[in-house]
Structure 1
Amino acid sequence: MSKQSPKSKSRKELTKAAETSIEGTAADVEVPEKKSFIKQLTPEEKQKAHREGIIKTIVSSILGILAGLILYSQYGTGEDRMWYAILMIVIGITYYVQKLIYPSLKINVKEFKFKDWFYVEFMVIDFFLVTWTLLLN
């Protein structure tokens, strides 16, 4: 057998000690369970959210249809107007009209996020363009 020098002996002991301390701490450390941050809705809250979604869709579609009818009666084909200006006018007016209508329908407008406003305005523009296009044909 070969004799170990004091330096090599201490190195081996240090590595063994480090391995055992790592294994010991790994076994002692508890991994916390991943918590789900999704709020579970009660059936009443689900029903209320569903009802509000339907109301938002109906109001925005009616506003879009009305905008299409009004602008067709005012501008006809709109060839002498800038189309993007007409779209911005429709978006601006319907945004403020919806801010006034929704509280009377018991929908909290302060809880609206960008996604909600984008959704209702997209519906308005869709129905506006479809209505105007159908009237032009």
Structure 2
Amino acid sequence: MSKQNPKSKSRKELTKATEASAEGTAANVEVPEKKSFIKEMTPEEKQKAHREGIIKTIVSSILGILAGVIMFAQYGTGTERIWYVILMIVIGVTYYAQKLIYPQLKIDVKEFKFKDWFYVEFIVIDFFLVTWTLLLN
């Protein structure tokens, strides 16, 4: 067993005393609550956001299905083209189509962030690939 150094023993006692005094003063001082920066939505805003989410999903899924049918009619199996070129064509066309469709449905595309565009394009690509695959079989 090693003996404790008198200096280390006094340091430990000093830190314990400091912690005890800090706890005593902290109990007497009231700490203001942290303000939340998350805006609480009213029931009307929640309902509007939910409705817009459903509309975005429906529009992007319909565009994906249409793209699958059109690409099947145009390219068939797609062996003459490189597959990612067809994918880029679908992404580009549906992106601009959605930029034109959503304002007519009273959805503000200026509020869209990267996450929103990624979401709707992901749905388009999913429905496009599923539709095209089903038509190929």
Instruction: Give TM class, smaller chain.
Output: 0.7 to 0.9
| Whole-angstrom distance in 2 between the partners of 1:128 and 1:32 | 53
TM-score by length of 2: 0.79
| Whole-angstrom distance in 1 between the partners of 2:121 and 2:23 | 58
1:80 aligns with 2:61: no
Structure 2: gaps spanning 5 or more residues: 1-13
State the identity as a percent: 84
1:71, distance to aligned residue in structure 2 (A): 0.2
1:127 aligns with 2:127: yes
Counterpart of 2:39? 39
| Whole-angstrom distance in 2 between the partners of 1:93 and 1:117 | 13
- Secondary structure, aligned partner of 2:39: coil
| Whole-angstrom distance in 1 between the partners of 2:31 and 2:51 | 41
Aligned CA distance change for structure 1 residues 74 and 31 (closer, same or farther; 3 Å) = same
Counterpart of 2:117? 117
* Greater CA drift, 36-45 or 22-31: 22-31
Aligned CA distance change for structure 1 residues 78 and 32 (closer, same or farther; 3 Å) = same
Matches within 5 A, 1:1-137: 30-137=30-137
1:32, distance to aligned residue in structure 2 (A): 2.6
| Whole-angstrom distance in 1 between the partners of 2:91 and 2:23 | 63
1:29, distance to aligned residue in structure 2 (A): 5.5
1:79, distance to aligned residue in structure 2 (A): 1.0
1:33, distance to aligned residue in structure 2 (A): 1.3
Counterpart of 2:10? none
Size of the alignment, in residue pairs? 121
| Whole-angstrom distance in 2 between the partners of 1:22 and 1:46 | 45
Alpha-carbon RMSD: 2.0
